[in-house]
Structure 1
Amino acid sequence: EGIRYAPLRSRSKVYIIDEAHMLTREAFNTLLKTLEEPPPHVKFFFATTEVHKLPDTIVSRCQRFDFRRITTADIVRRLRQVVDGEKLKVDDAVLAAVARSSHGGMRDAESLLDQLVSFKATGLSEADVAAVIGEARGAHLADLLAAVRGGDSAKVFTTLAAIFASGVDVAAFTDQLLERFRALLAVKAVGKNPDIVDLPEADLAEAEKQAAGLTLEALLYFIQITLEAKRRIKEGANPRIVLEVTLVKMSRSADLVTLSDALRGTVTAAPAPATAAAAAASPAPVAEAAPAPAPDADADEPVPLAVAAPPAPAPAFAGKPTTLEETQSAWTRIVSAIREKSLLSATILKEGRITRLGADEVVVTLAAKFNDSHLKQLENPKNKVAIEAGFQAVFGRKMVLRAFLEAGGSAPAPKPSAPQDTTADPGVKKILEAFGGSKVVGIE
């Protein structure tokens, strides 16, 4: 209501609405008239992190400015100015930890620094930062990643026990793991690029060392199962069990075999024994498809385990069948041609097998689960025309179908017995007596 009045001392009235996306539709509708014809002395500023939630009618009447997150280095420089101005002694490592946890927000970084100074005026350390925000200490996280890289499941359990004993927040720790894996993935892919990986130089060097023994595929797998763990924790599963299972999976990821390697049969067995006595005690591995030579007992390389590949299916016959074998090979193509004319006939014949090929007929035996009613469907004039059209398309000449049931096939459904005289029934007699002149048409 006071918008229409001019300011008394200033040139303009400035209204700053923070978290503008939280306004209701009614509130936006009230503002809309003012925004359409604003007084010359009024300026509105809408601040939001979710601009997609603002109505289009509001956005179209505003000049939009998008601000990016502040880099960690810039936040550290600003925090250094603050602590120097307050005559406080805070290490750069602590300021860097505060900057990382703020995720590019200067206000969050300054608020966290204020909490830390209130918590402990002197002698602040990175462990204090982790304790305030509920994350794992840097040393614990490094030990955990080392255990995952080294495949040490026992160390995964002991390190996680120490992390939980320090009172970490599960959600914050899961996000911390995701951020670390994302940093390792980026370092592995593009190197120490500060535009991609927003970390101080010391942390970049540490991330490069941690990523050295990991592949891009492994890091993608780590991120995928960590996201799955985060979802399960949010659904109410026991967070400790979920994280233990997830991290042990990561530590055993070296045992996994890609699908392509498994199909090619390139899985390797355990390394050969180092001594001749051990080699004599255990038999040499033998290929399933063909015998393989015994491995050298002193060999350092793992012994390949030959796996017999499944036989490749014979290609379907593509020409005009003239023999029984060619017809059997082309049967799928014949059924497809019949399906274009009659879906029911093709469905029945799909499970049949060709037992004989004559000069002008194809003999098909149906499985035992079929019965005479299915044979009658195939003999239906309309279906018969469709089947012969399919044969004509493949054989190039007129062929007829003769279908039989396999031994043990289902007997035809019993025919209904002849109708009995229902008027002799006592109950029916009573009804006829009550309704004179009625007659029985049928009983269901």
Structure 2
Amino acid sequence: MKPYTVIARRYRPQAFDEVVSQGHVARTLKNAILEGRIGHAYVFAGPRGVGKTSMARIFAKALNCTRGPTELPCQVCEICRAVADGSDPDVIEIDAASNRGINEVRDLREKVLYAPLRARFKIYILDEAHQVTKDAFNALLKTLEEPPPHVKFIFATTEPLKLPDTILSRCQRFDFHRNAAAEIAATLRAVCAKEQVEVSDAVLSEIAAAADGSMRDAQSLLDQLLAFAEGALTTEDVTRLLGTLPRERIAALFQAVAARDSRVVLAQIQAVFDEGRDPEAVCDQAVAFCRDALLVAAAGTDAPGLDLPPDALIPVAEAAKAFPAETLMYFIQLLAECKRRMKEGLAPRLVLEVAVLKMARWEDLASIADLLARLESRVPTGSGTPARSAASPPAQHAPVPPGRPLGPIASAARPWETSRFAAQPPAPPAGPQTPLLFPARQAAGPLSTPGVAPAPASAPSPASLSANTAPAEPAPGPRPETSFPTPVAASPADTAAEAGAVEEPPAPVAPSPDASELRARWPEILDRIRTTNVYASAFLKEASPVSIEGAELTLSFPAGMRFHKSQIEMPKYRKSVEDAASAVLGIPVSLHCTIGSGEAAPGGPSPSAGAPPAPPPADALADPGVRRVIETFDGRVVDVKRTP
């Protein structure tokens, strides 16, 4: 039986013009030969299967041909035939993956000194050159910079970024392009004609798409299909061999997702595993479908980078109309995460089912604008102001103009609108909040501060969001429907008019707590401070609440705690105390600290009838180790003993 040679080897390019999609490389090398500008080292970089090694062999034939150097090797001389079948002694192909160490490079440095046996040049082709170690490359630097005149180096690599800069700077680099699907299909059609095999254009398109720009992968897949099929090749043969789904099945899956039909979606996944399809390949197909639909949604059916046959473009265009662009982006992220979890060894079926069920609930997703609006209505916008109570209505926003949806927004109640989430106390804000572009108009809150005029209704003040206020009523009348309105600053007259409108009827003033209520709620304030700033809670262990007059909270520190007082007065600690006290007491609070013998804080040491105990030295409390122990165990310094 005669040995069989695969298609990828039988139809390997033998001339510069036969290498598909690499005309820019072929032109440069041919001109270099014609003009005598042949370099001593080259880097051929590009994806797998695009002709890097084939181009290196053709270049070697062009340099060593008996009629050369010539841009058109004769293909008949002994040297050309030997280079073509890989047996020429002067064209040495080295697999860098298995010859990557410094010892192999030292051996190479010795061999380059010898002249070629019969050819004009001794040419070294290093395949997968990026796998050579750094030390080995360093050993090659001097030889590569000043090689003997009869030596040429060609480094072929799929990852040029892994090559040291010192190597790249000594070589001429050529970047090989990925083959277009149409060019791959045309090449395969010519191969099938020579093989006397009839294959439809749909099958060739499927093979070209599966090859992902690699001509060698496409030829290998065609070879495999010719052995697999019985009779004429069909697209079903391609999908079964690859473990993928036909394009119409992928389109049907997304039609079920668009209809939010979880039963049909799960039936599709059941069929994937019943038919033995590859779940990772199906995941890749779904990502590609979303990507194509996203391109159509962004730039139409003639979008750059969209390479689909006409029959496959129809369901993609329908999906682009059914799903907003934000949803398609979410699908891509979800499916990419699904594939990553499959590679980690999780149950592929479970991961894929969860992903497609999430996709089938795509209308439950809220748009970014809606989420920001809801967060703005829940999170305090000023220092020391608690979040709006759960009874307050959500902020109202300008309607979305027709034909320009911001994203899928479900009409049902969101989880964050339930009382279980809204009733929890809000966390203090991390910093100044960015106001909404289109804030909802609200009535002024019932709290006001002495000497401060009420804020306009168009920009609710922090005091209007207090937890002790009555529910705010939205302003009557719908907002005008405008596309992308630009916020305009109100004139002084308008501001005064709005302020006057808010004053009638006047908002009730929340009463300030007395000293007894302050002491009773002081432990709660300390607990809240501890959750946000443990350092501030440690410095407040010996502090006592004295009084609260208006918006000023007075704390008293013992005479020996001046360091603690100075720390609490620092902005980063003062803000934590003011925010916590405001949230617990329900009114804006500003902090004032004094030194005296005030009443001890609840949970702290009770003052004795006589003189208070001597406080520990300040240098002991300033020690980082002591402070770390106090904060870790929530303790206090009782006594200090110094060792000699």
Taking structure 2 as the reference length, what is the TM-score of the superposition? 0.47
Is residue 131 of structure 2 the alignment partner of residue 22 of structure 1? Answer: yes
How far is the alpha carbon of 1:198 from its aligned partner?
2.8
Q: Which amino acid aligns with 1:84?
A: A
Q: Distance in 2 between matches of 1:303 and 1:105?
A: 47
Which residue of the partner structure matches residue 364 of structure 1?
554
Structure holding more helix per residue: 1
How far is the alpha carbon of 1:403 from its aligned partner?
8.2
Count of residues paired in the alignment:
351
Distance 1:400 1:43, change over 3 A: closer
For the 8 Å contact 1:192–1:208, the answer to whether it is kept is yes
Distance 1:243 1:363, change over 3 A: closer
Q: Distance in 2 between matches of 1:128 and 1:235?
A: 30
Which residue of the partner structure matches residue 309 of structure 2?
200
1:159 to 268, 288, 310: 268
Distance 1:356 1:218, change over 3 A: same
Q: Distance in 2 between matches of 1:164 and 1:148?
A: 19
How far is the alpha carbon of 1:357 from its aligned partner?
6.3
**Secondary structure in structure 2 of the residue aligned to 1:148:** helix
For the 8 Å contact 1:89–1:122, the answer to whether it is kept is no
Is residue 457 of structure 2 the alignment partner of residue 348 of structure 1? Answer: no
For the 8 Å contact 1:12–1:41, the answer to whether it is kept is yes
For the 8 Å contact 1:13–1:41, the answer to whether it is kept is yes
Is residue 301 of structure 2 the alignment partner of residue 107 of structure 1? Answer: no
Deviation digits for residues 326-357 of structure 1 (CA, Å, limit 9, x no counterpart): 999xxxxxxxxxxxxxx969963999685236
For the 8 Å contact 1:364–1:404, the answer to whether it is kept is no
Which residue of the partner structure matches residue 227 of structure 2?
118
Which residue of the partner structure matches residue 403 of structure 2?
none
Deviation digits for residues 365-394 of structure 1 (CA, Å, limit 9, x no counterpart): 7xxxxxxxx7426x7456678999999xxx
For the 8 Å contact 1:387–1:401, the answer to whether it is kept is no
Q: Which amino acid aligns with 1:364?
A: T
Q: Percent identity?
A: 40
Distance 1:376 1:245, change over 3 A: same
Which residue of the partner structure matches residue 202 of structure 2?
93
Which residue of the partner structure matches residue 253 of structure 1?
362
2:184 to 75, 83, 92: 75
> Structure 1 stretches of 5 or more lacking a match?
266-287, 291-301, 329-342, 366-373, 392-397, 417-440
Deviation digits for residues 231-273 of structure 1 (CA, Å, limit 9, x no counterpart): 22222211101110110110111122336436757xxxxxxxx
Q: Distance in 1 between matches of 2:226 and 2:569?
A: 91
Which residue of the partner structure matches residue 177 of structure 1?
286
Q: Distance in 2 between matches of 1:389 and 1:203?
A: 65
Distance 1:245 1:4, change over 3 A: same
**Secondary structure in structure 1 of the residue aligned to 2:322:** coil
Q: Which amino acid aligns with 1:31?
A: L
For the 8 Å contact 2:557–2:565, the answer to whether it is kept is no
Q: Distance in 2 between matches of 1:203 and 1:191?
A: 15
1:376 to 549, 552, 558: 558
Deviation digits for residues 14-65 of structure 1 (CA, Å, limit 9, x no counterpart): 3222211122334434433321212223222111111111122211111011
How far is the alpha carbon of 1:182 from its aligned partner?
1.6
Q: Distance in 1 between matches of 2:570 and 2:318?
A: 70
Q: Distance in 2 between matches of 1:230 and 1:388?
A: 52
**Secondary structure in structure 2 of the residue aligned to 1:64:** strand
Which residue of the partner structure matches residue 3 of structure 1?
112
How far is the alpha carbon of 1:127 from its aligned partner?
1.6
For the 8 Å contact 1:188–1:216, the answer to whether it is kept is yes
How far is the alpha carbon of 1:99 from its aligned partner?
0.6
Distance 1:168 1:411, change over 3 A: same
Distance 1:147 1:316, change over 3 A: farther
Deviation digits for residues 86-128 of structure 1 (CA, Å, limit 9, x no counterpart): 1111111111111111111111111111111121253211121
Which structure 2 residues correspond to residues 37-436 of structure 1 after superposition, within 5 A? 37-120=146-229, 122-193=231-302, 195-258=304-367, 260-261=369-370, 348=540, 354-356=547-549, 364=554, 375-376=557-558, 380=561, 410-412=604-606
Deviation digits for residues 156-190 of structure 1 (CA, Å, limit 9, x no counterpart): 11011111112122222222222222222122112
Distance 1:42 1:206, change over 3 A: farther
For the 8 Å contact 2:539–2:567, the answer to whether it is kept is no
Q: Distance in 1 between matches of 2:179 and 2:368?
A: 43
Distance 1:157 1:364, change over 3 A: same
User: Could you say which structure has the greater relative contact order, defined with CA pairs below 8 angstroms and 6 or more residues apart?
Assistant: 2
For the 8 Å contact 2:287–2:335, the answer to whether it is kept is yes
Q: Which amino acid aligns with 2:253?
A: L
**Secondary structure in structure 2 of the residue aligned to 1:4:** coil
For the 8 Å contact 1:182–1:223, the answer to whether it is kept is yes
Q: Distance in 2 between matches of 1:27 and 1:305?
A: 64
Larger radius of gyration: 1
Q: Distance in 2 between matches of 1:36 and 1:318?
A: 80
Q: Distance in 2 between matches of 1:194 and 1:127?
A: 28
For the 8 Å contact 1:345–1:387, the answer to whether it is kept is no
Q: Distance in 1 between matches of 2:116 and 2:195?
A: 37
Which residue of the partner structure matches residue 498 of structure 2?
none
> Structure 2 stretches of 5 or more lacking a match?
1-109, 375-390, 394-409, 423-439, 453-508, 514-534, 575-591, 614-640
Q: Distance in 2 between matches of 1:289 and 1:181?
A: 40
For the 8 Å contact 2:554–2:594, the answer to whether it is kept is no
**Secondary structure in structure 2 of the residue aligned to 1:16:** strand
Which residue of the partner structure matches residue 13 of structure 1?
122
Distance 1:388 1:37, change over 3 A: closer
For the 8 Å contact 2:272–2:279, the answer to whether it is kept is no
Q: Please give the root-mean-square deviation of Cα atoms over the aligned residues, in Å.
A: 4.5
